[in-house]
Amino acid sequence: MQHGIKTVSFEEAAKVIKSGDRVHLHSVALAPHKFINAMCDRGRNGEIYDVTIQHIHTEGPAPYAATEFEGIFNLESLFVGANVRKQTQAGYADYIPVFLSETQQLIREGYLNVNVTVVQVSPPDKHGYVSLGTSVDCSRAAVEMADTVVAIINPNVPRAFGDAMMPLSSFDVFCEDDSPLIEHHNAPLSEIDIAIGKNVANLIPDGACLQMGIGGIPNAVLAQLGNHKNLGVHTEMFADGLLPLVESGVVNGMNKKLDKGKIVAGFLMGTKELYDFVDDNPGVLMMDVAYTNGVHIIKQNPKVCAINSALSIDLTGQVCADSIGTTHYSGVGGQIDFTRGAAASEGGVPIIAMPSVTGRGVSKITPTLLQGSGVVTTRNNMRWFATEHGCVNLFGKTLQQRARAIISVAHPDFREELDRAAFERFGSHYHFVNNLVK
Residues marked active site are found at 236
- Would you write out the chain's pLDDT as a tens digit for each of its 438 residues? 667 899 999 999 999 999 999 999 999 999 999 999 999 999 999 999 999 999 999 999 999 999 999 999 999 999 999 999 999 999 999 999 999 999 999 999 999 999 999 999 999 999 999 999 999 999 999 999 999 999 999 999 999 999 999 999 999 999 999 999 999 998 899 999 999 999 999 999 999 999 997 788 999 999 999 999 999 999 999 999 999 999 999 999 999 999 999 999 999 999 999 999 999 999 999 999 999 999 999 999 999 999 999 999 999 999 999 999 999 999 999 999 999 999 999 999 999 999 999 999 999 999 999 999 999 999 999 999 999 999 999 999 999 999 999 999 999 999 999 999 999 999 988 887 765 554
What's CA 304's distance to the chain center, in Å? 17
Tell me the CA distances in angstroms from 127 to 121, 283, 339, one per residue in order. Answer: 15, 21, 39
Tell me the CA distances in angstroms from 56 to 5, 80, 94, 292, 321, one per residue in order. Answer: 29, 7, 12, 15, 16
Q: Which domains does the chain have, with CATH numbers?
A: 10-176 (3.40.1080.10), 191-432 (3.40.1080.20)
d(CA 280, CA 173): 25
User: Closest Cα to residue 29, out of 267, 279, 287, 335?
Assistant: 267
CB-facing half-sphere around the CA of 337: CA atoms within 13 A: 23
Q: Parallel, antiparallel, or unpaired: how do β-strands 232-234 and 267-268 relate?
A: unpaired
Q: Is 228 exposed, middle or buried (0-12, 13-18, 19+ CB in 10 A)?
A: middle
Asked if 233 and 251 touch (Cβ cutoff 8 Å), the reply is: yes
For residues 343-358, b (16+ Cβ closer than 10 Å) or e, as one string? bebeebbbbbbbbbbe
Amino acid at 169: S
d(CA 346, CA 92): 45
d(CA 27, CA 141): 13
Element (H, E) at 284: strand 284-286
What's the predicted TM-score (pTM) here?
A: 0.96
d(CA 103, CA 233): 22
